Amino acid sequence: MTSFAAALVALAAAILIGIIGGKVAALPQRVTTAGDAYALTAAPEETSGTQDYLAAGGIDGGAAISYVKFDVTLPDNGQLPKRTWLWLGRHSGQLPELLELTHVPDAGWDEKELAADTAPRLGDVVAMVEPRPDAPAVAFDITSVVKKSGTFAFAITSPTSLEYAKFVAREALETLTGAPTITFDWWVDNPSESASSGPWNPPSFTPTPRTSEPVTDPWPTASPSVTESASVSPSPTDSPTPTESPSESPSPTESPSESPSPTESPSESPSPTESPSESPSPTESPSPTESPSPTESPSASPSATESPSASPSQPQKCTVRDRLVPTCGALWGVAPGAHTSQDRIEALKNFDRLAERPQLIYHAYHRGHELFPTQAEVELTRDPDFPRILFLNWKPLGVTWAEIARSDQRTDAYLDRLAAHIKKVHPEQFFFTIHHEPENDVRDQEGSGMTAKDYAAAFRYVVKYLRGKGMTNAVTVMSYMAYIPWNTKPWFEDLYPGADVVDWVAWDIYSYSDPGYGFGDFAEMMNRRSGSRKGWPGFYNWAAKTFPDKPLMVGEWGVWYSRKNPGHHEKFFDSARLQLDLFPRVKAFVYFETPNADGRDSRIQHTSGGQRAFQKLSDHRAFDVELGRTYPRGLIQP
């Protein structure tokens, strides 16, 4: 029997079974939430699982994080939907310019007991949308996450301290439609594309959740209270291919009605009142950059873990996986004793004592033809009581970026020695950046050898050269300066070397304690905007849209102390603790400690209140990430 004839027999048998049984497959059409609540970091003991709305964004100087979870049952034959969408209906008010959906590995929370100090830690951002302010609903593409039956939990955030979204909660079902709902778009018309295994879909088929819009009506006239299924028989008739976009989704059957605003009103961050002449003047209240894209068209989302959330019986544990990305939470680190002659290892231990928490990342700077890591740095990573991750920063000297990219002989010889050294002494994975903050050294004249494109070419050359020499354990980091005049230059985006040679994207940013440029709270620092160039959306927003598949890092940050305003340290570190979860893409924060960076001092111990506030920030649950013996050993074989 030919393979074609066998396929026909199998198809006929499947159809016969379907006829006898009355159906071929019961495919779920929608699943309503099994639990939803929001937590307020400015009121950490307050539980919000009984309200008729969910809040996400900045409230009262802190953050509101909404949590939803769903019990999903997919067909036993392994059939997968073409697309899976998570819908939220707007409750009242306007929506912020950017909303993000994060996978939450721990689904063991109770909506009536959930609060900020007990809420589960956030995993990978899986989708984002840029809604219209008055959009009736938003839809997040969660195809990359829901690939098997299980309980799936998510968090909704918005990276702004100035506004927040209100969505319909399941408690409002008696009066409003629009409660959190998952819908499925199924491959039902083309037998060869309707399942991930079995007769209806080749196993190699993988959905691409970036090319189409949701087609399932999320909320029928009667809001469902249980999983709804439809009996679907595959049809031999032709259907659109996977690359074709289905028709636009119909509007929800009923727009969520408006209701009074909640008592919690968003508080604005301190606004700079003046700026130095050499720096641009920031806006007093950053105005959102509206996006014309419809709510139902989610932006590209990164791939996420495919496993369902942890069962309620399993305690949540954050560890480090390949490329040093934490499974949940964020890494915490420091560049200690910078711009001093102090022994860096002693400086690290002293910072640990001041912070009352050991730092997971140790950031060190190397120049020219130094070989790194040093023996002392290697020993840090192998401390049996507390292993660390190295973040090694290399700045070439005496050579232009263009010369490096053209295979400078002296640089190549150095890279040969460096690769051999690292393979010998440090096979573990480590963070590696090349000439951090390159914006400050760009000379935008053709032939200078130091243009933005020259930098990108040099970065690519170094990474590929080292990989070719077997140094594959370097987790590469593109480290931007994030200074407003530079990131609005026409050459700024030419700096990026390419996704194939960049593992993480980082930026360096600081808070100033005197009113003027860079004065404000943590959210202002993370998404700083320019008063003279309102088109700049803030670095976090820009990076989220530009690098949706990359984990982000704040590679350097700090608060410059001022004797004129000594209380700013304490206020800023408190705001960082309260607003941290507004930025779930950031998977590592590395403090820059120095007593003198061009006259500026970022040490945390200037005031007892500031030091205590930093200690409380260090104690944030997000930083409870374990290395231990699960620390990735890299890709170099011994």
Q: Which helix (H) or strand (E) holds 580?
A: none
The stretch 571-594 carries a mean pLDDT of 98
Distance of CA 598 to the CA centre of its chain: 32
CA distances from 102 to 5, 58, 79, 128, 388 (A): 47, 17, 25, 9, 27
The 3 state secondary structure assigned to 454-478 is HHHHHHHHHHHHHHHCCCCCEEEEE
pLDDT digits (tens, 9 = 90+) for 510-564: 999 999 999 999 999 999 986 555 678 999 999 999 999 999 999 999 999 999 9
The pTM of the full predicted model, rounded to 2 decimals, is 0.83
Alpha-carbon torsion angle 168, 172, 173, 179, nearest 10: 20
Q: Is 75 helix (H, G, I), strand (E, B) or coil?
A: coil
Domains and CATH numbers, the chain: 26-236+252-316 (no CATH), 330-630 (3.20.20.80)
- Structure confidence at residue 221 as a pLDDT band (50, 70, 90): low
Going 454 to 459 to 463 to 466, the CA torsion angle's sign is: positive
As given in the structure block, the two tokens for residue 481 are 């300066």
Taking the C-alpha atoms of residue 308 and residue 317, their distance in angstroms, rounded to an integer, is: 15
Strand partners, 139: 87
Q: Is the pLDDT of residue 633 over 70?
A: no
Smallest CA-to-CA distance from 520 within 242, 321, 305, 284 is with 284
pLDDT digits (tens, 9 = 90+) for 300-310: 344 444 456 55
- Cβ-contact 86, 177 below 8 angstroms: no
- Cβ-contact 252, 178 below 8 angstroms: yes
Q: Is the pLDDT of residue 589 over 70?
A: yes
Q: Is 620 helix (H, G, I), strand (E, B) or coil?
A: coil
Taking the C-alpha atoms of residue 194 and residue 236, their distance in angstroms, rounded to an integer, is: 11
Share of the chain above pLDDT 70, in %: 75
Question: Tokens 């009262």 belong to which residue?
Answer: 60
**112, burial (CB in 10 Å: exposed 0-12, middle 13-18, buried 19+):** exposed
Q: Is the pLDDT of residue 632 over 90?
A: no
The stretch 112-125 carries a mean pLDDT of 94
The stretch 602-616 carries a mean pLDDT of 98
562 or 23, greater pLDDT:
562
Question: What is the model's pLDDT at position 531?
Answer: 54
pLDDT digits (tens, 9 = 90+) for 366-389: 999 999 999 999 999 998 888 999
User: Which residues, including other chains, have CB under 8 Å from residue 215's CB and lie 6 or more apart?
Assistant: 83, 185, 246, 247, 248, 249
Question: What is the model's pLDDT at position 540?
Answer: 98
How high is the mean pLDDT of the chain? 81
Q: Is the pLDDT of residue 102 over 80?
A: yes
**427, burial (CB in 10 Å: exposed 0-12, middle 13-18, buried 19+):** middle
CA distances from 464 to 404, 405, 585 (A): 12, 11, 26
The 3 state secondary structure assigned to 138-191 is EEEECCCCCCCCEEEEEEEECCCCCCEEEEECHHHCCCCCCCCEEEEECCCCCH
Question: What is the model's pLDDT at position 47?
Answer: 84
Count CB-CB contacts under 10 A for residue 619: 13
- Structure confidence at residue 348 as a pLDDT band (50, 70, 90): very high
pLDDT digits (tens, 9 = 90+) for 83-98: 999 999 999 999 999 9
Smallest CA-to-CA distance from 291 within 545, 493, 101, 90 is with 545
Alpha-carbon torsion angle 406, 411, 417, 419, nearest 10: -50
DSSP symbols for 29-70 = EEEE-SEEEEEETTSTT-EESSSSEEEEEEETTEEEEEEEEE
Quick one: DSSP state of residue 533? -
Q: Is 625 helix (H, G, I), strand (E, B) or coil?
A: strand
Q: Which helix (H) or strand (E) holds 523?
A: helix 522-526
- Structure confidence at residue 629 as a pLDDT band (50, 70, 90): low
Preceding amide of 199 cis, omega within 30: no
Question: Tokens 């996400």 belong to which residue?
Answer: 56
**78, burial (CB in 10 Å: exposed 0-12, middle 13-18, buried 19+):** middle
Quick one: DSSP state of residue 636? -
Question: What is the model's pLDDT at position 214?
Answer: 81
Q: Is the pLDDT of residue 612 over 60?
A: yes
554 or 78, greater pLDDT:
554
Smallest CA-to-CA distance from 431 within 506, 500, 328 is with 506
Question: What is the model's pLDDT at position 174?
Answer: 84
Taking the C-alpha atoms of residue 160 and residue 382, their distance in angstroms, rounded to an integer, is: 39
Q: Is the pLDDT of residue 260 over 90?
A: no
Count H helices and E strands in the chain, helices first. 11, 23
- Structure confidence at residue 187 as a pLDDT band (50, 70, 90): confident
pLDDT digits (tens, 9 = 90+) for 446-504: 999 999 999 999 999 999 999 999 999 999 999 999 888 899 899 999 999 999 999 99
Question: What is the model's pLDDT at position 217?
Answer: 78
Q: Which helix (H) or strand (E) holds 79?
A: none
User: Which residues, including other chains, have CB under 8 Å from residue 210's CB and lie 6 or more apart?
Assistant: 141, 300, 301
Taking the C-alpha atoms of residue 342 and residue 338, their distance in angstroms, rounded to an integer, is: 8
Taking the C-alpha atoms of residue 155 and residue 125, their distance in angstroms, rounded to an integer, is: 9
The stretch 62-68 carries a mean pLDDT of 98
Smallest CA-to-CA distance from 194 within 32, 24, 30 is with 24
Question: What is the model's pLDDT at position 383?
Answer: 87
Taking the C-alpha atoms of residue 131 and residue 183, their distance in angstroms, rounded to an integer, is: 19
- Cβ-contact 120, 109 below 8 angstroms: yes
Smallest CA-to-CA distance from 212 within 252, 251, 249 is with 249
Residue 514 exposure: Cα atoms within 13 Å on the Cβ side: 9
Which among 203-212, 219-228, 542-551 has the top mean pLDDT?
A: 542-551
User: Pairing state of beta strands 389-395 and 552-560?
Assistant: unpaired
Smallest CA-to-CA distance from 216 within 82, 403, 416 is with 82
Q: Is the pLDDT of residue 203 over 90?
A: no
Strand partners, 432: 392, 476
As given in the structure block, the two tokens for residue 18 are 């379907």
Taking the C-alpha atoms of residue 41 and residue 39, their distance in angstroms, rounded to an integer, is: 6
Question: What is the model's pLDDT at position 189?
Answer: 60
Which among 64-68, 266-270, 302-306 has the top mean pLDDT?
A: 64-68
pLDDT digits (tens, 9 = 90+) for 284-299: 333 333 333 333 333 3
Question: What is the model's pLDDT at position 223?
Answer: 41
Residue 563's identity, in one-letter code, is R
- Structure confidence at residue 2 as a pLDDT band (50, 70, 90): very low
